[in-house]
Chains A and B, each alone.
Chain A
Amino acid sequence: MATKKKWEYSPAPESKQPAAIASRYELFINGKWVKPTSSNYFSSINPATEEKLSEIATASEADVNKAVQASRQAYEKYWKKMAPAERAKYIFRIARIMQERARELAVTETLDGGKPIRESRDFDIPTAANHFFYYAGWADKLDFAFPNKKANSLGVAGQITPWNFPLLLAAWKIAPALATGNTVVLKPAETTSLTTLKLAAIIQEADLPPGVVNVITGAGQTGAWLTQHKDIDKIAFTGSTEVGRIIQRTLAGSHKKLTLELGGKGANIIFEDAPIDQAVEGVINGIFFNQGHVCCAGSRLYVQESIAKKFVQKLKDRISTLLVGDPMDKNTDVGAINSAQQLKTIQAYIKIGKAEGADFFESDCTLPQKGFFCRPSLFTNVAQSNRIAQEEIFGPVLCILTFRTDDEVIEKANNSPYGLSAGIWTDKGSRIFNISKQIRAGVIWANTYNLFDPTSPFGGYKESGFGREGGLQGLQPYVQFVKP
């Protein structure tokens, strides 16, 4: 062979054009797009380029009241009375339109949130649509879901979603609420409102009765007004444990039912008899999926000492092959950090980890000049007492600890206020059953990691929250039992 040129992937950017983002978005209340009473708008930017994408209405308390009122009216007037099978058909319609507009939604999600287009295209959007499809089917089968009980709807559900999986979590919230006969007022995270607003447009296109779903945009204060509202029967929140506490306190003594899906510090445990190469992939997927902005990320890696050196080397090799950069490039593995603020938080933790004496390794990839980016990295020589091993970093930073025995790793894995997820990698079936039973976490991935499915309940133990989303168990947070 003559001149040998290294084979690099040429840029393969997805077109922005299908996103069709409007220059301004209003509030979606009672089936209509209405201007905020405050006349205030905030900018939504593309975290990969720092360019402004659109401006979005800030809902005031009066707007929140209007939305709740519309939702209450829709509940009493239409949704509560509607035959469940008809309710189901509306939800199926939403799922179908989401599938039809998948490309638009995927491109918008990536532009707005910074996640790789491969992830929004292959995971976020299809899973969101599937969630509607799954719960649609439940609407007229609730009598089978709870033995010896009749399940009634609650009324108006106030829902608050985070910025890491904007559309997917809107689906996780709206789909079961509607299927069980509740109406909804939803507030998306302010940095990533666009796909939720597009979902509102889809709901409008699906011709749902006005007010059944309302979307109000704004920052934390808007959410606070929603949780404090007297005429809300249910709050579902996904976000930080810190805000979860405030919401739980706000709701204390009220009749409002509450679901919290909060933080995590997932233990991913690698035994010496693990399928090593698949475990490496599982660890990579566990911490670098969505730039590590995942509440169930496998951010605490426990490797059995006998294989630690070899395993860490394999991880480092693999990290070096990750393609970091433009989220719109179809080959990008790790995209942009969601916001300047989050990038600052991650960088602060990296500094803390170094100060704590842990050994730091990061990919040698070059980062784009503009936008919020962070190299995938890991810490070795980490102790349970280090802050980086205890606190949720919510970024592409892995902490690696070692262990010697099963008992030791069970104890260490449970040694956390959180309890959302865990991974176990071993070839021994009986060990999987034992460890998965002993670990106090809501989702256990054995010989795999970070998988989600509409049929599979998701939610935490301890300070990772309560209530489940997904599956049969995901219905219960939205119903009250009455005598059969």
Chain B
Amino acid sequence: MAKQSRLEVWKTYKNYVGGQFPRTESGRSYAVKNAMGKTIANVCQSSRKDVRDGVSAARSAWSAWNNRSGFNRGQILYRIAEMLEGRKKQLSDLLVTQGYTAAAATQEINRSTDRLIYYAGWCDKYQSLFSAVNPVASAHYNFSVPESMGVVGMLAPANASLLGVVSLMAPCIAGGNTCLILADQEKPLAAVSFAEVLHSADVPGGVVNILTGYQQELIDWISSHVDVNAMVCFDQEKADWQKIQEIGAGHIKRTFQWNAKQLATAAGQSPYFIMDLQEIKTTWHPIQTIGGKGGAY
């Protein structure tokens, strides 16, 4: 027998819910394989109850996250980028294991980091850009501002293991929402490991929740969850999109379909993605007209 090499320690990939890394409550898992068909990891096959827990964690986190200043959210998004930069090697290895070339893996991580920084900068700016003071014809001050929708369900796209998750999450939380993300079914490892980045980057627990599992099994449960205010998916599966909208109609859910082809391009990032997940609130208040020239009462 040749000299025995050190036995490798394998990693257990778990869900990310409420700032913790629980296994699926169902106890189920499925095998993630590499391009050669070899199993590289067993990941959680999440159930409807994990969806329930994820939404509940997101809802609990929403109010405090929503009430943070834009500046503070920007700091945290920037911190995520910093942490991601530090874990480049780990994530790159994972992407390569899942079939990326080394160059493609590096590019995906760089793009993801840059995208986080892009949105970090938007956190305290989109409000100014998309707010309005409306010149109503009565003695009232009237203004409209964007506000977060609340809890957003998000389906990660295929073939953009990390960039897809980042491109969903960043505009969503930049705008004060919290989210539950279903990782890509085939290549979820980068998404799950990205959760560790989030965890170490001062993102409050529950703001981002990431589940692995069979999207077909879970779409119905997210779409029909009454406490999910909006759903975002990519334009890959027409059937999924229809289903999400049909089910979401039950309680007037906002649904959005983003363009997967644009993900890796400049068009894959925009304040309009933040705005998709914003409501517009308009406030009126009377203006006293006593005083000043022509004023009388």
Contacts and interface: CB of A to CB of B under 8 A. Distances in A.
Interface of A: 130, 147-149, 241, 244-246, 248-249, 251-253, 260, 262, 417, 432, 436-437, 440-448, 451, 453, 455-459, 461-466, 468, 471-473, 481, 483
Contact of A457 (B134, B147, B229, B272): B134
B34 interface: no
B134 A417 contact: no
Contacts of A245: 249-252
Contacts of B285: 432, 446-448
A461 B279 contact: yes
A453 B252 contact: no
Contact of A481 (B137, B238, B254, B272): B272
Looking at A130, A253, A443, A451, the one whose CB has the most chain B CB atoms below 10 A away is: A253
Contacts of A443: 281-284
Contacts of A417: 251
B19 interface: no
A483 B147 CA distance: 26
B133 to A, nearest CB: 10
B241 A253 contact: yes
B36 interface: no
Contact of B129 (A147, A448, A453, A458): A147
B284 A457 contact: no
Interface in B240-283: 241-246, 248-252, 254, 267, 270, 272, 279-283
A248 B252 CA distance: 7
Interface size class of B (residues with CB under 8 A): 35 or more
B134 A466 contact: no
B230 to A, nearest CB: 9
B142 interface: yes
A441 B283 CA distance: 10
A333 B246 CA distance: 43
A262 B286 contact: no
B132 interface: yes
A448 B286 contact: yes
A172 to B, nearest CB: 14
25 contacts: A147-B129, A246-B249, A248-B245, A252-B242, A252-B243, A252-B245, A253-B238, A440-B150, A441-B281, A442-B282, A443-B282, A447-B286, A451-B136, A455-B134, A456-B134, A456-B136, A456-B142, A456-B284, A457-B134, A461-B149, A461-B279, A463-B251, A468-B280, A471-B144, A473-B280
A260 B249 CA distance: 11
A248 B250 CA distance: 9
B8 to A, nearest CB: 46
Contact of A451 (B140, B229, B249): B140
B142 A252 contact: no
A453 B284 CA distance: 11
Interface of B: 129, 132, 134-138, 140, 142, 144, 147, 149-150, 229, 238-239, 241-246, 248-252, 254, 267, 270, 272, 279-286
A47 B82 CA distance: 67
Contacts of A466: 252, 254
A458 B282 contact: yes
Contacts of A444: 281-284
Contact of B252 (A251, A432, A436, A465): A465
A481 to B, nearest CB: 7
A444 B239 CA distance: 38
Contacts of A448: 140, 284-286
Given A253-B242, A453-B142, A442 B136 contact: no
Contacts of A441: 281
A130 B135 CA distance: 13
A447 B286 CA distance: 7
B252 A471 contact: no
Contacts of A445: 283-284
B252 A249 contact: no
Contact of B284 (A244, A249, A446): A446
A451 B284 contact: yes
A26 B241 CA distance: 40
A472 B282 CA distance: 12
Given A252-B244, A468-B280, 9 more contacts: A244-B252, A248-B248, A253-B245, A442-B281, A443-B281, A445-B283, A461-B149, A466-B254, A471-B144
Contacts of A461: 149, 279
Contacts of B129: 147
Contacts of A249: 245-246, 249
Nearest to A455: B134
B72 to A, nearest CB: 16
Contacts of A252: 242-246, 249
A59 B279 CA distance: 36
A473 B248 contact: no
A269 to B, nearest CB: 14
Contacts of B254: 466
A253 B246 contact: yes
A61 to B, nearest CB: 23
Contacts of B149: 461
B144 A456 contact: yes
A455 B279 contact: no
A241 to B, nearest CB: 7
Contacts of A148: 270
B245 A457 contact: no
Contacts of B147: 437
Given A446-B285, A457-B280, A462 B252 contact: yes
A451 B241 contact: no
B70 to A, nearest CB: 13
A455 B283 contact: no
A455 to B, nearest CB: 4
Looking at B129, B246, B250, B281, the one whose CB has the most chain A CB atoms below 10 A away is: B281
A249 B252 CA distance: 9
Contacts of B140: 448, 451
A440 B254 CA distance: 15
A468 B130 CA distance: 13
Looking at B149, B229, B279, the one whose CB has the most chain A CB atoms below 10 A away is: B279
Nearest to B245: A252
Contacts of B132: 457, 471-473
B287 to A, nearest CB: 10
B143 to A, nearest CB: 9
Contacts of B229: 462
A468 B275 CA distance: 13
Contacts of A244: 252
A457 B281 CA distance: 8
